[in-house]
Structure 1
Amino acid sequence: MLPLEGDLQGYCLIRPCRCEEGAMSIDLTSFSSLVAAVRDQVHTQPDGTALTFLHDPDRPRDGGTTDWSYARLDQEARARAAWLQDRLAPGSRVLLLHPNGTEFAAAFYGCLYANMIAVPAPLPGRHRGRERVARISGQCEASAALTTAANLGSLRAWAVETGIDIPIVAGDAEPLADPADWRPIDTDRSAIAFLQYTSGSTGDPKGVKVSHENALWNGQATARSVGWPDWMRMGGWLPLYHDMGLVQLLYSTALGGGCALMEPSAFIGRPARWLQAIDALDIHVGFSPSFGYDLCVRKVADEEVSGLDLSRWHVAGNGSEPVDPAVMRAFSKKFAPAGFRPENFAPVYGLAECTVYVSGRRDRPPVVRTLDLDALTQGEFVPAENDRPGREAVSVGPPTDACEVLIVEPETCEVLPEGRLGEIWLRGTSVSLGYWQRPDPEGRVFGATTADGRTGFLRTGDLGALQQDELFVQGRIKDLLIVRGRNVFPSDIEHELRARFSDLGRVGAVFAAIHEDDPSADDAGSIVVTHEVDGIPPDRLPKLAAELRHFVIREFGVDVASILLLPAGTVARTTSGKVRRSEMRERFREGRLQALYPPTPAA
C-alpha cells in the first residue's frame, strides 16, 4: 500500500459500504469539496481501483490495462499539486492538454488539490484546433499547462507558434515534486473547480465556471435520478475534455466505483472495442451520444455480438444531441442476444452551463411519443392521430431535483403551460456560476426573470416542451427556421432525408438561406440543404440533388435555395456529435464548402 500523506482533517469523512443494487451509501453533498470526496475514498479504500486505462483496446482481459489504486491517484495528484503550489497563486488557471488516460486524472485532481482552476482542453491538432486552444489559453489567462511526455515536444512547438508564453510540463516525464510537500488546503464549496469550455463556435470560446458545490450537487442528483449505486464502475470512450466525459471521471472516482477509460480513436476505429471493454472491465454505467450507438449498430459484426455479455451494463446513457428513437430500437434489437435490455437506456438532457446533467432516468423502456407535425410547426406539442403526419420524439425523463425546469416563451418571458413548445429555463444548485470573464449584468443568460417575477434562471437556448411530466428537447432556438409563420426544425428535414434516401451519408446540415443583396439577413422562405454522401457514382449526384429538392418542397413546404452534396467528414460537428449548423452556414456564406455536387471549382 502506498503511504497516505497530508492532513485529512476537515474533509467530512464518511464511510462507504457496498449496498444492494439501487441503493446509495454516499451523499456527495455532505462533502466540503471534490477534494474532500476523493480523499475520503483514499482513506477508506486506498487499495481500491480508482482508474483503469485500456492502453491496448484489443486486449481488455489480457494485460491491456493500466490500473491505479486510490492511493496511487492521491500520490500522483499530490506531486502535481506541490509543483503548482510552489509556482502559482491560488486560483490560477492551468491548461490540461492530455489524451484520455490516468495522467489527465492526476493533473485534474492535482489542480484541485492545489486550489487551482483546471481548464481541460483538446490537444491542439489541425489548424483550426490549434487556433481554438490558443484562444482558450488566452481567454482564461492560463498560467501553466500540464501534459504527457509523449506530447510535450509538439505542445512546446505549438506554444512558440501561437505566442503562448507559459511553462508546459509533463507530469509523467519525471517526478515534478515530492508528494509529501503538498500543503493541504481548505477549499470553499463556492470556489471554482474548473472551466468547461463549450464546443460551439471555434471563434468565440466560452468557459463555464463550475464550482465544487455545482459538481457535488449535480453528481449526487445524477446518480440518484438516473439510478446507479455508488459502487458501480463508470467509463467509456468519451474525451475527458468534454463535459460528459469529465463528469464520468469525477463522479465515479468521488462515489468510489472507479472509472475505466479508453481513447476515443480506439472506439471510432472499431466500435466493438467499447462494448468489449464494457464486458471485460465490468463497466456498469456508460454514456454516449446517439452517433456512438449508431456506429455500434452499423459496424459491430454479428460474430462479435455473439461473444459479448452486456447484461451488467446497468445505465446506457444517451445524450448530447437529439436522441434518435430508431437508433435505440436498432441497438436494443441487435444486442439483445448479448443481454442488453431496452430499459437500461437512459435518454438524458444536460449542458455545461448546468454542470451537465438536467434530467434522465433508466429502469423503463424509452418513452417515445409521435407528435402531430403540423401542430408542432405552430408550437403545439400534441399526439398525431388519425394517420396525420407525425414525428417521433424521445423523452429525456421527468424533471429531477438537479434543477427546476420551466418552459418559457423566449420573447415575452411568459411561462408556458404543459404541451407548449418554448425555451427551456433552469434554476438550482447545479446551474453554474456563469462564463469566465463574461459579465451578465442584465441576466440575459444567467439570472433571467420570468414575466411573473420569478428570477435566477438560466436561459439554455434549447427548445422543449413538458408533456405529462416528461421533458422533450427539440433543438436549438438559433437553428429554428421560421417560414411564413411556421416553425420548421432543421433536424426534422435532416432526419427525413436520411430516412427516405438510403444513398445519403449519416449526417447533414440544414440552415436558412442568405439574401444576395444582404448577406447578413436570412431569407425567410428558403433554406440550404447540405449533406454528406459516400460512394455514390458521380452521374447519380445531379438526380439525387433534384430528388432532395423536390422532397423538401413537397413535404415541408419550404423553398430550397441550394443543395450541396459533400464528401464524408465535411459537416461540422461538436465532439459530442451535434451538428454545428451555424458554422456550416458561415462556411457556406464564405464559400468554404468543397462540394461534390455541384462541383466546387478548383482554386
Structure 2
Amino acid sequence: MDEPTLHAALDRIAARHGDVTVDFPADKVALSLTALSARSRRIAAHLREVGIGDGDRVGVLSTNEPDFLLILFALSRLGACVCPLPMHAKEGADRLVGVLDDAGIKDVVVSSRLAAMMPFIEEALPGRRVLGAAGILAHGGRDQADEVSGADVPATSEIVLQYTSGSTSRPKGVRLTHANVLATLRAIRDGIELTPADKNSSWLPLFHDMGLFGTLTGILTGVPCTIWRPSAFVKDPARWLRQFADGGYTISPMPNFAYDYLVEAVPADEAASYDLSRWRVAFNGAEPIAVDSLETFFGHFAPSGFDPRTMLTVYGLAEATLAVTFPPLGRGPRFDWVDRAALAERGVAVPVERTEPGARGVVAVGRPVLGMDLRIADPHSDGGAALGDRSVGEVQLRGPSVTAGYVDDAGTLDQPFTADGWLRTGDLGYLADGELHITGRSKEMLILRGDNYYPDDVESAVRTDEAVHRRRCVAFVHQESDTDQGRDTEREFMVLVAETDRPGSEHPALSDRLRTRVRRALGLHDLRVVLVAPDTLPRTTSGKLQRLAARNDFADGR
C-alpha cells in the first residue's frame, strides 16, 4: 500500500503473495492475486481498444463476483474511474439514470451474473453504451494479449466515484483519488494490525464503501478473502455464521443490524456449537450502534467462545473514503451513560449512573485513525474553534483520505467544507476521554414545540419490544393543517412508525404499549403510532433505515 496507485499496490503484493486468493463461493471461483494482477493488465488493454481511457468514469453494475474486482483494477491502470452502481429494486431505473447523468457516465459495464438484464438495461439507458463484462473478461484470458501496466497513472487520479447511502438526502457522488483510497486502506491495516496471517470474510455489497474498501484492505495486505453475496447472510444468517466459524475466519465487517440478525437466527441452545474463538476483529459500523444489541450478542454467543474484546465499534463515512475513528484494539466496546434531556436540549453530555431515569448509553467509536484530524465544532458556524469535551457539535474532519468534494458538473451542489477547509460530516457528536461519541444527524434532529429530541431516543424506547420486527422503527415530527372554529392552524406531533408481523387485531394494544414505553422514557405524550408490515420502511442499499423518506411517505399518505 506504499505504492502511489491501487494497481501498483496490487502488483507489489501479488509479487510477494501471489498464491493468496479471493474466493467467491457463489461463483465457485478462487481468484489468485497473481491472476487478478495479470488479467487486469490484459483487460485494461481491451478497454483501451474500445475507447475507455484516462479520466473516463465508468459505471459498473455488479453483484459480489470476480468481475467487479477485475474491472476495477483494469480501469485503475487506464487512469479511469469506477462508479459502483447500487442495485435497489424499489428505486429502479430512475435512480440509476440520475446517478449516470449526475456523474456524466457514458459507459456502463454489466457483470456476468446480470447478463440476462442487459436488454432491459439498454432500454432504460438510451444514449449510453452498455458493455457485458463476460465479453470484456474473455479478452483478459488471452495469453498473448497486449497489456497495460498503468505505471504513468498519478496518485491524484480519480479512481472511485462512491455514492453516499442517501439516508438523509439524495445520494451524492464522492470523488476519491488513488491517494485517498490508499490512505484509508493503510489506516485500516494499521488500526487492526492486519497481516497475511488473518483471514477476511465479508458479505457486504462491493458497491458499498464498507464492503469495497474493507475487501481492498485485505487484498492489498495479502490476506485471504472470501466474498459472500449479501443474500447468503440475509436469507440464512445461521448458515453464514456456521461457514464463518468452520472456515476459521478472523476478520468480518458488519453493520449493527447484522448482529441482531445472528441472535435471532441462532437458537440459544445451539450457540455453543459455533466456534467463534478465532474471530479477532468484528467490525461494527455503517449505522448507529446500540448498547442493547451489543450486550445481547455478547451474552448469546458467550458459549461460542466469542470474546467481547473482539468487537470494534467504529465510525466512518464515504466522504472520508471510509475509516475515521477506531477504538483501541482488544479493549472491547465502551459505553458512556449520559443524561438524555441534557444531551438533546442543551447539547451537553452529562455523565449519570446507568440506573438513573433518563440515562442514555452512547457507544464510544474511538480515536482518529492514522492521518486523520477530527474536531467537534458549532454546526451553525462556518469555521473556528473546536468545542470542549462533552459538548455536542458537528464532527468535522481533514486528512489524506478526505474527498476533494462531490461530483457536481452543474455547479449547484453545496460542497461539504467549512471556510477553513474542514469536511462537514453532518453528524453530531462529542469527545470524552479522547474518544468520539456519535449522538445523531443534524438533519434528523426533531424539534417539537420548542423541545429537542433525538430520533434514536424515541426509537430505542420501543425497538426491543418483541413485536417490533427486527427492531425496525423510525421517528419523525409531522406537521399538518387543522381547522378549528373556522381558523386554519398548524398542528405538529411526533410519529413513530414500526414494522410488525402481528395481526391487525393486536395492533390497538401494541400501539398503546409502544406509546406507553415512549412516554415513560421521554415524557412525550403527543405521539402517533403507525404499524406497518415487515419490509415496508424505506431503506438505503446498505440497509440503513431512511427516516426522512419515511416522513415523506407518511405525509403523502403512503
TM-score by length of 2: 0.91
In 2 relative to 1, CA 459–174 (structure 1 residues): closer, same or farther, beyond 3 Å? closer
How far the C-alpha of 1:182 sits from its partner, in A, is 2.1
Q: What is the correspondence of 1:188-337 to structure 2 with a 5 Å cutoff?
A: 188-200=154-166, 204-302=170-268, 305-337=271-303
How far the C-alpha of 1:553 sits from its partner, in A, is 4.3
Q: Which residue of 1 aligns with 2:334?
A: 367
The question of whether the paired residues in 1 share the 8 Å contact of 2:102 and 2:409 is answered with no
1:528 corresponds, among 495, 502, 525, to 495
Q: Which residue of 2 aligns with 1:493?
A: 458
**1:465 is paired with a residue of what secondary structure?**
strand
In 2 relative to 1, CA 146–231 (structure 1 residues): closer, same or farther, beyond 3 Å? farther
How far the C-alpha of 1:320 sits from its partner, in A, is 0.8
RMSD: 2.5
Q: What is the correspondence of 1:514-525 to structure 2 with a 5 Å cutoff?
A: 514-516=479-481
1:409 corresponds, among 378, 395, 409, to 378
Q: Which residue of 2 aligns with 1:543?
A: 509
1:396 aligns with 2:365: yes
How far the C-alpha of 1:44 sits from its partner, in A, is 2.0
1:398-421 deviation per Cα after TM superposition (whole angstroms, max 9, x unaligned): 233341111111113552111011
1:460 aligns with 2:430: no
Partners in 2 of 1:258 and 1:538 — Cα distance?
Answer: 49
**AA matched with 1:436:** V
In 2 relative to 1, CA 161–216 (structure 1 residues): closer, same or farther, beyond 3 Å? closer
1:448 corresponds, among 418, 421, 435, to 418
1:420-472 deviation per Cα after TM superposition (whole angstroms, max 9, x unaligned): 11110011111112111268899x643313xxxxx210000001000111110
Q: Which residue of 1 aligns with 2:94?
A: 131
Partners in 1 of 2:356 and 2:109 — Cα distance?
Answer: 59
1:79 aligns with 2:50: no
Q: What is the correspondence of 1:145-160 to structure 2 with a 5 Å cutoff?
A: 145-160=108-123
In 2 relative to 1, CA 40–170 (structure 1 residues): closer, same or farther, beyond 3 Å? same
The question of whether the paired residues in 2 share the 8 Å contact of 1:512 and 1:524 is answered with no
Partners in 2 of 1:201 and 1:310 — Cα distance?
Answer: 32
2:533 corresponds, among 556, 567, 590, to 567
Partners in 2 of 1:114 and 1:432 — Cα distance?
Answer: 21
Greater shift, 73-82 or 187-196, is seen at 73-82
**AA matched with 2:368:** P
1:589 aligns with 2:555: yes
Q: Which residue of 2 aligns with 1:43?
A: 15
**AA matched with 1:400:** V
Q: Which residue of 2 aligns with 1:504?
A: 468
How far the C-alpha of 1:127 sits from its partner, in A, is 4.9
Q: Which residue of 2 aligns with 1:433?
A: 404
Q: What is the correspondence of 1:84-95 to structure 2 with a 5 Å cutoff?
A: 84-86=47-49, 87-95=51-59
**AA matched with 2:11:** R
Partners in 2 of 1:278 and 1:141 — Cα distance?
Answer: 40
The question of whether the paired residues in 2 share the 8 Å contact of 1:373 and 1:384 is answered with no
**1:195 is paired with a residue of what secondary structure?**
strand
In 2 relative to 1, CA 281–384 (structure 1 residues): closer, same or farther, beyond 3 Å? same
How far the C-alpha of 1:170 sits from its partner, in A, is 2.1
Percent of paired sites with the same residue: 31
The question of whether the paired residues in 2 share the 8 Å contact of 1:394 and 1:472 is answered with yes
Partners in 2 of 1:552 and 1:129 — Cα distance?
Answer: 36
Partners in 1 of 2:393 and 2:409 — Cα distance?
Answer: 26
In 2 relative to 1, CA 319–553 (structure 1 residues): closer, same or farther, beyond 3 Å? same
Q: Which residue of 2 aligns with 1:61?
A: none
Greater shift, 304-313 or 205-214, is seen at 304-313
**AA matched with 2:138:** P
1:326-360 deviation per Cα after TM superposition (whole angstroms, max 9, x unaligned): 21222222222222110010000000000111011
Partners in 1 of 2:137 and 2:157 — Cα distance?
Answer: 30
How far the C-alpha of 1:35 sits from its partner, in A, is 1.0
Unaligned runs of 5+ in 2: 484-488
How far the C-alpha of 1:50 sits from its partner, in A, is 3.0
Number of residue pairs matched by the alignment:
543
1:418 aligns with 2:402: no
Q: Which residue of 2 aligns with 1:18?
A: none
TM-score by length of 1: 0.85
Greater shift, 344-353 or 33-42, is seen at 33-42
The question of whether the paired residues in 1 share the 8 Å contact of 2:202 and 2:253 is answered with yes
1:382 corresponds, among 350, 356, 361, to 350
Q: Which residue of 1 aligns with 2:486?
A: none
In 2 relative to 1, CA 69–347 (structure 1 residues): closer, same or farther, beyond 3 Å? same
**AA matched with 2:85:** A
In 2 relative to 1, CA 166–528 (structure 1 residues): closer, same or farther, beyond 3 Å? same
**AA matched with 1:447:** F
Partners in 2 of 1:439 and 1:170 — Cα distance?
Answer: 31
How far the C-alpha of 1:202 sits from its partner, in A, is 10
How far the C-alpha of 1:230 sits from its partner, in A, is 4.9
Partners in 1 of 2:7 and 2:391 — Cα distance?
Answer: 43
The question of whether the paired residues in 2 share the 8 Å contact of 1:370 and 1:390 is answered with yes
Partners in 1 of 2:394 and 2:532 — Cα distance?
Answer: 32
Greater shift, 393-402 or 147-156, is seen at 147-156
1:100 aligns with 2:64: yes
In 2 relative to 1, CA 297–550 (structure 1 residues): closer, same or farther, beyond 3 Å? closer
How far the C-alpha of 1:305 sits from its partner, in A, is 3.1
**AA matched with 1:431:** V
Q: Which residue of 2 aligns with 1:168?
A: 131
Partners in 1 of 2:242 and 2:326 — Cα distance?
Answer: 25
1:33 aligns with 2:9: no
How far the C-alpha of 1:517 sits from its partner, in A, is 7.1
Partners in 2 of 1:293 and 1:476 — Cα distance?
Answer: 23
**2:362 is paired with a residue of what secondary structure?**
strand
> More relative contact order in 1 or in 2 (CA 8 Å, sep 6+)?
2
How far the C-alpha of 1:274 sits from its partner, in A, is 2.8
In 2 relative to 1, CA 282–550 (structure 1 residues): closer, same or farther, beyond 3 Å? closer
Unaligned runs of 5+ in 1: 1-27, 57-64, 450-454, 593-603
1:68 corresponds, among 6, 24, 31, to 31
How far the C-alpha of 1:175 sits from its partner, in A, is 1.2
How far the C-alpha of 1:504 sits from its partner, in A, is 2.2
Q: Which residue of 2 aligns with 1:473?
A: 438
1:545-596 deviation per Cα after TM superposition (whole angstroms, max 9, x unaligned): 234334434542445363211000011122333221111111112122xxxx
Q: Which residue of 2 aligns with 1:6?
A: none
How far the C-alpha of 1:132 sits from its partner, in A, is 1.4
The question of whether the paired residues in 2 share the 8 Å contact of 1:92 and 1:117 is answered with yes
Partners in 2 of 1:257 and 1:174 — Cα distance?
Answer: 24
2:80 corresponds, among 104, 116, 120, to 116
The question of whether the paired residues in 2 share the 8 Å contact of 1:529 and 1:560 is answered with no
Partners in 1 of 2:72 and 2:523 — Cα distance?
Answer: 51
**AA matched with 1:110:** A
How far the C-alpha of 1:528 sits from its partner, in A, is 1.4
**2:175 is paired with a residue of what secondary structure?**
strand
How far the C-alpha of 1:231 sits from its partner, in A, is 4.2
How far the C-alpha of 1:82 sits from its partner, in A, is 1.4
